[in-house]
Amino acid sequence: MVTEFVSGVYDITVRDDGNGRYRAHFFDLPVPTLVDTGLESTTDALFEGIEEIGTEPERVIITHGDGDHIGGLESVNERYDVETWVPAQTNVDDSLVDRRFSTGDTIGPFEAVHVPGHTPDHHALVDEANGIAVLGDAVFGSDARGLPSGYFVLPTGFYSANLLEADEHLERLLEFEFDVGLVYHGSSVKTDAVATLDDFVNFDGKPQ
């Protein structure tokens, strides 16, 4: 299922079976860019989504090495002529990687921001000029945890290498301005996303 979430930014849902929603994000940029590749088992749905959009990716960026984000990378590499960008810390066969990146690096319109905790290699991608941030699994949409949509929550400790570290490093994202916050589980936030994240991070009564 493909949804144009905002102009030129597509949500490709590759699986939604009631046990969680899995997706990739596609950006209709001068260099068409796919962010994350879904599971190895969901590449057919990913390719159908890309065909529906009508533009093939020329660049792939991986946010981190969890299987639902990098599992389809080999198949994407085989199908499309893409330049692949993968975090420096991600454990993946180097034959699948063209470029390694670290925090502060620029990839097209995006600045990479290291936000470890969920995984040690986790990065968000911020396009401040267009007010869009790919938050990866730094946060989930609140409805992924049974709450009303429109807010952010942390992934559970079950899915996080270090939940305290994940919480602390959200501060890094507040250094940027963005209206749209794209997540992979639960619903993304279309307006005032950085303010919404700030409300979550800097809650009333937070110890200083």
pLDDT (tens digit per residue) in 126-155:
999 999 999 999 999 999 888 999 999 999
The Cα 109–Cα 130 span in angstroms is: 8
Domain 2-201 - what CATH class? Answer: alpha beta
Q: Where are the domains of the chain?
A: 2-201
What's the rounded mean pLDDT across residues 37-46?
A: 96
pLDDT (tens digit per residue) in 81-124:
999 999 999 999 999 999 999 999 999 999 999 999 999 999 99
Which pTM was predicted?
0.95
The Cα 8–Cα 105 span in angstroms is: 23
Kind of pairing, strands 140-141 and 59-61? unpaired
pLDDT band at 19 (very low <50, low <70, confident <90, very high): low
Neighbouring residues of 201: CB distance < 8 A, sequence distance ≥ 6: 167, 170, 171, 174
CA torsion sign, 7 to 9 to 13 to 18?
negative
The pLDDT of residue 204 = 81
Q: What are the DSSP calls for 129-154, one per residue? A: GGTEEEEETSSEEGGGGTS-SSSEEP
CA dihedral of 126, 65, 188, 35, whole degrees rounded to 10? 60
The Cα 88–Cα 100 span in angstroms is: 5
